[in-house]
Structure 1
Amino acid sequence: MDGGNFAGNFEDILPELSWLCWRNCPPKLQANNFVLNHLVVLKLSGNIIIEEWSGWVEMMVPSKVKVLHLVGSKSLIKTPPFHELISLERLVLKDFPKLAEIDPSVGKLERLIYLKIKWCLHLRELPKEIGCLAALRELILVHCFSVHYLPESIRYLNHLSRLVMEDTRLVELPVAIKKLVALEYMSLVNCTSLNRLPDAFEKLGWLTELDLSGTTIEELPSSIWNREDLTVRTNSSNIRTPRRLEDKEVCIPQEIMLSYDALEYEAKQIFLDIACFFVDKKITNAMYMWKACEFFPEIEIDVLINKSLIIMVDRDRIRMDDEFRDFGRKFFCRESTDKSGDRRRLCFSEMALDIVEAKKGTENVVALTICTSRRNFTREDFANLKNVRFLESNGGNFAGNFENILPQLKWLCWRNCPPKLQANNFVLNHLVVLKLSGHITTEGWSGWVKIMVASKLKVLNLARSNSLIKTPCFTEFMSLERLILKDFPSLAEIDRSIGKLERLIYLKSNGAVS
C-alpha cells in the first residue's frame, strides 16, 4: 500500500497476513490491538521516527519476523532498537540521508544472515557489536560516503562469505580481514580513498573473486599474486588470475624474449619499472623520474609500443598483457634469488620490509615498495641502498641522522605519512616526484621542505589530511610543474603563494569539502 494509516480497533483483522509493504507510511500507527501473528516480511518506507517505533513493534510478533526493510526516512538520525527481533534473518537500511548511528542492539540479532546498508550518507562507522553477528553471511555497504573504516570486530564473522564495500570512503582494510576464513567474494568498487591492501590474502583460502574496479590501488600484495585460484577485477575491467611467479616457470614465447633482448638498456629499465610498479596506471609522473635518470622516456616508450610490449590508452595510461607483466616480474624473481636483497626491484612489499629491517639491502636495489609499518626507520636500515631511485612506503617515520642516505632517490610516495619528519640532515638532492598522504600539517611542513631541493621538484601530490585548513606555502617550488591537492575535508584556503609557481602546467584539487 502507499500512504494512509490504520485507525481504531484492529483486533483479529488481517489474521493471515504474512507480507506487508507500506510506502509513505505514517510516523505513528493509529490503530490499536493490531497484531499480525503471521507477519514474516515487513517493508516500510516513509516518515519512520525512533520515538514511535514501539507502535510498529507491537503490530508484529517479533519472534516470527524474518525480513525487515526500512527505507527513506529523511529525519532518522539513529536506527530504532532491534533487540526484540530475535528471529530476524535479513535487515536492509536504505536512503537515510541523516542517519549517523546504528543502534548497538543490532549485535543481538543472532540469526541475521544478511545486512545491507545503502545511501546512508552521514553514517561514519559500523558499531563494534557487528562482530556479534555470528550467523552473518553477507555484509553490504553501498554509497555510504562517510564510512572510512571497518571495525576490528569483524574478525569474529566466521560465516561471512560475501563482503561488499562499494562507493565508500574506506581508507584501509583492517588486518583482521584475514580472520574471515569463509569469505568467498569481496567487492571494493569505487572506494577511491583506498590505495593499498593488507598482505593477508593467503589466509582467505575460500576467496575466489576480488573486485577492485574504480579504486586507487597501486599495488597488489604478494599474497594475491601468489594465489592461483583468485581472480581479480581491476581498473582495466579485465578479470585477471594472478600466478605464483616465484614457484612456477613462466612460459614466455620466443618472440617476446627476442623483443626484450633487442632493447637498449634504458628501454629495458623502463619496461621492468612498468611491469613491477606502473601496470594500469598513468605514467605522467613516472616520466619525470625517468627523465631525471636520463633515460629519454618519450623515445623508449615509443619503442616499447612499437614492439607491442606495452599499450598506451587514454594518452597516458599504460596497459600490459599478462604474459608481458609476468615476464617482467620473472626477472624480479630471478635476480640473485639466493640473496633477496640483491634484487634490483623489490616490488613485493612484505619482502621489501623484511630486507630493510634486516639491513640486507645492497647497492643493486633501484626500487622498492614497503608495506604498512609503524616503525621508525634509521639510517642503518637504508645505509646500503645507495642507488634507490624509487621508494614507496606506508606509515612509519624516518628518525635520526640521515645525512647522505638515499642520495639517488627521485620518487618518494609516502602514504599515512607522519605530521612531522623526525629525521635530520635528510636532503634528497635528486627528488622530482613527492607524493604524501596522511597527517600533513602547516606547522610541520618546513620539515618536508628541508628534505628536497625545492628547485628540482616537478610533481607534488598532497592527499588526505583531515586537519589541514590552509595549504602550506609554495614559494620555494620554483620548478614545480604539477600540483595535486586531494581529499582535504577541512581545507578552506589555498595559500596565495601558489601564484609564484610560474612553471606550473597542471593543477588539480578535489575532495576539499570546506
Structure 2
Amino acid sequence: MSFDELSIAEKKILLYIACFFKGRDRRYVTRILDSCGFKAGNGITKLIEKSFLTITKGRVHMHDLIQEMSRCIARKDYPNTMAWVTQEIKETLKTSSRLEAVEAIVETNHDQSSGRPMPYCSAKVFMGMKKLRLLEVNNYFTSSEPAAFPEELRWLCWSDYPYQSLIITRGMTNLVGLELPYSDILQVQMEKEVILTSLKSINLNRSYMITSFPDISGVPNLERLNLSCCMQLREVHQSVLNHEKIIHLDLTGCMSLRSLPSPIKMKNLSRHSFLIIVKISKDYQKSPWRQGG
C-alpha cells in the first residue's frame, strides 16, 4: 500500500505515531489522538490491516523504514506542523511564521543529564501557536510559568513541571487531557465559574509537593484522576467523591492522606479503583457508601 492511497485521517494518525508515539501503549495513544479529533480507534485498526502498524503486547509499533519514510513526509509535506527533535523544536520556536503552523510538539529525545536544563523559550511563545493541539514536554521548557495556553490545545503533558502552580483558564475549554507527573506544583488553580466539559483525564502522579486537590465541579465529564504517590497530599475536595463520571481514581501511595470526606457517591467508579480507596482510607469502613455495599 502506498501512503498516498491512505485517507487524510489515516495519514495524520500514521505521521503522529511515527513522529511521536512508536512503542507507546495503544490505549494511551488512542486517547490522545481521539482528543485531537482523529478517531484513532478505527484509524489504527485500518493501518494495521494495511501493514503500516503492528501491535505487540498492547504497544504500537512500525518498521523502522516506515517510520523514517513517515517522518520525511511530515517534514516535507507538513512543514513546521510537527516537531519532535530538540534542535528542530528550538528552531521552530524562534520564528513567528513557523509558530503559526505548529499543531504538535512532543519531546522525544529530551536531555536526561543532571542540572537545570536551559529553557527553550519564553512563556509568551504560546500566544503565537494558534493551532497547537498537542504539547508533551519536560522540565524547563519555558523560562517562566505560563499564564495561558492556546485555545486549541487538547492534550497537555508536562513532566517535571518546575513551577508551583498552574492556572486553568476559560481559554482551555478544549483541553481533554492534563498530565503533570513528577511536578513541583503546589496547587492546581481554576478560574472562577470556568466549565471544562472536554476535560476527561488529569494525572498528577508523583507530584510530591501538592497538599490538596481542588473543587472539580466545573469538570463534569472527568473520567480518570491519578493522584498516586502525591506524598504530601492531605485533602481531596468533596466534589471528587461526588463525581458521577469518574471511572478511575488512583490514590495509592498518598501517605499523608488519612481519611476521605463522606459520603462517597461515585457510582461509575470501577472495581479496581474501589480497592484503591479501601486501602488508602482508614475511615472508609465507616462511610455510608461502604455500609451500603
* TM-score computed with the length of structure 1 as normaliser: 0.42
Paired residues for 1:192-231 under 5 Å? none
Query: Does the alignment pair 1:298 with 2:41?
Result: yes
| Distance in 1 (alpha carbons) for counterparts of 2:208 and 2:93 | 30
Structure 1 residue 365 corresponds to structure 2 residue 110: no
d(CA) in 1 for partners of 2:235 and 2:169? 31
Shift of 1:274: 0.8
Alignment match of 2:22 (pick from 279, 286, 289): 279
1:318 pairs with 60, 65, 82, which one? 60
Partner residue of 2:212? 470
Contact 1:430–1:453 (CA under 8 A) maintained in structure 2: no
Measure how far apart 1:347 and its partner are: 0.9
Partner of 2:243: 501
C-alpha separation between the residues in 2 aligned to 1:330 and 1:387? 22
Seen in structure 2, the aligned counterparts of structure 1 residues 427 and 451 have a Cα distance that, compared at 3 Å, is farther
1:456 aligns with 2:198: yes
Shift of 1:411: 0.9
> C-alpha distance in 1, partners of 2:102/2:193?
21
Q: Is the 8 A contact 1:439 1:466 kept in 2?
A: yes
d(CA) in 1 for partners of 2:43, 2:80: 23
The residue type equivalent to 1:407 in the other structure is E
Separation (CA, whole Å) in 1 of partners of 2:57 and 2:243: 27
Shift of residue 360, structure 1, vs aligned partner: 4.6
Cα contact 1:489–1:513 (8 A) shared by 2: yes
How many residues matched?
243
* Deviation of 1:281 (Å): 1.0
The higher relative CO (CA closer than 8 Å, separation ≥ 6) is in 2
Tell me the SS of whatever aligns to 1:486. Answer: coil
In structure 1, the partner of 2:160 is 416
3-state SS in 2 of match to 1:445 = strand
**Alpha-carbon separation, structure 2, partners of 1:432 and 1:356:** 24
Q: 1:309 aligns with which of 52, 67, 71?
A: 52
Q: Which residue of 2 aligns with 1:486?
A: 228
Cα deviation 1:188-231 (Å, max 9, x = unaligned)? xxxxxxxxxxxxxxxxxxxxxxxxxxxxxxxxxxxxxxxxxxxx
- Aligned-residue offset at 1:492: 4.2
* Unaligned runs of at least 5 residues, structure 1: 1-254, 337-341
* Structure 1 residues 311 and 508, CA gap change in structure 2 (3 angstroms): farther
1:373 Cα deviation from its structure 2 partner: 4.5
Match of 1:377 among 114, 122, 126: 122
| Superposition map of 1:65-214 within 5 A | none
Structure with higher Rg: it is 1
Counterpart for residue 85 of structure 2: 348
Q: Which amino acid in structure 1 is aligned with residue 129 of structure 2?
A: L
When residues 261 and 453 of structure 1 are mapped into structure 2, their CA distance, relative to the original with a 3 A threshold, is farther
- Over 3 Å counting, the alpha-carbon distance change for 1:433 and 1:425 in structure 2 is closer
CA distance in 2, matches of 1:287, 1:511: 28
For residue 408 of structure 1, report the CA deviation from its aligned partner.
1.4
- The DSSP-based 3-state class of the residue aligned with 1:487 is coil
Higher helix share: 2
CA distance in 2, matches of 1:498, 1:425: 20
Whether the 8 Å CA contact 2:220–2:245 is kept in 1: the answer is yes
CA distance in 2, matches of 1:425, 1:506: 24
The farther-off stretch of 461-470 and 430-439 is 461-470
Contact 1:376-1:398 at 8 Å conserved across structures: no
Amino acid across the alignment from 1:284: R
Contact 1:431–1:452 (Cα < 8 Å) also in 2:
no
Contact map agreement 1:474 1:500 (CA 8 A) in 2: no
Sequence identity (%): 26
Give the distance between the partners of 2:120 and 2:168, measured in 1 at CA.
Answer: 17
RMSD, aligned CA: 3.0
Change (3 A) 1:506 1:324: farther
2:176 corresponds in structure 1 to 432
Q: Deviations over 1:349-372 (max 9, x none)?
A: 332134214435243321113555
Residue 331 of structure 1 pairs with residue 73 of structure 2: yes
Structure with more strand by fraction: 1
Offset at 1:300?
0.9
Matches of 1:367 and 1:450, distance apart in 2: 29
Contact 1:462 1:484 in 2 (8 A): yes
